[in-house]
Copies of this chain bind each other. A is one copy, B any other.
Amino acid sequence: MELLEIARRRKTIRKFKKDAPPLNDILYCIKVAKEAPSGMNSQPWRFLIVSNAKKKKEIRNICEEGEKKFYKRMDEKLANWVKERKITWEKKFLEDAPFLIIIFSDRNSPYYIQSTWLCIGYFLLALEEKGIASLTYTPPNADEIKKWLGLPSRYRLETIIPVGYSNEDKRKEKRKEIEEIAFFETL
């Protein structure tokens, strides 16, 4: 399949079916992702695959505590944006998705944030290629999750990606026209 078709088909999904994709498919996607370039080829990304129900529940609890606080201090623009999409502080997908892929970066590497997110771009396309739905969710209290996982301070939690089969029928959010974001010779 052409990459443009995969990229166009890929959309953010927040509701997942119970049945888990084969672990091998997830590993395939990590194999794609780890081919990404990185500053000094330091490959600062780490993937933690969580499928244990009790662990997912605890991660959900911690994130929701952070979300409740975050919803109180959210600016109006974001508050309207989430309201329109019926998004709330509840993060059911953290328990429902068969796998949570928690992605960390290593602060000791040059351009660790940039490199890791470039790698996440590879990862999302690979998931879509395998028909696996995903969402890049960044908890407002990422450090608390990291602490609960007992990780050394050099790791930064970049995002939690719940993955599984889509249980949601929705349109992809509209993208800008190419003329709005690409310019020739001068911006």
- Tell me the A residues contacting B by CB distance below 8 Å: 2-4, 6-8, 10-12, 27-28, 30-37, 40-41, 43, 45-52, 55, 78, 81, 104, 110-111, 113-122, 124-126, 129, 136, 138, 149, 151, 155, 158-159, 173-176, 178, 181-187
> Chain B: which residue is nearest A35 at the CB level?
B7
CA distance in complex: A136, B27 (Å) = 26
User: Is the pair B4, A28 in contact by a Cβ cutoff of 8 Å?
Assistant: yes
Residues of B within 8 A of A81 (CB): 40
Chain copies in the assembly? 2
Beyond A113-B117, A114-B113, A117-B113, whether A46 also contacts B183 by CB under 8 A is yes
User: Is the pair B125, A45 in contact by a Cβ cutoff of 8 Å?
Assistant: no
A47: which of B47, B48, B183 is its contact (CB, 8 Å)? B183
Residues of B within 8 A of A36 (CB): 7, 121, 124
Residues of B within 8 A of A187 (CB): 46, 48, 104, 149, 151, 155
Residues of B within 8 A of A2 (CB): 129
CA distance in complex: A57, B28 (Å) = 42
Subset of 14 A-B contacts with CB under 8 Å: A3-B3, A4-B32, A4-B126, A7-B122, A12-B37, A34-B175, A41-B173, A45-B181, A46-B181, A48-B182, A49-B183, A111-B138, A115-B117, A118-B118
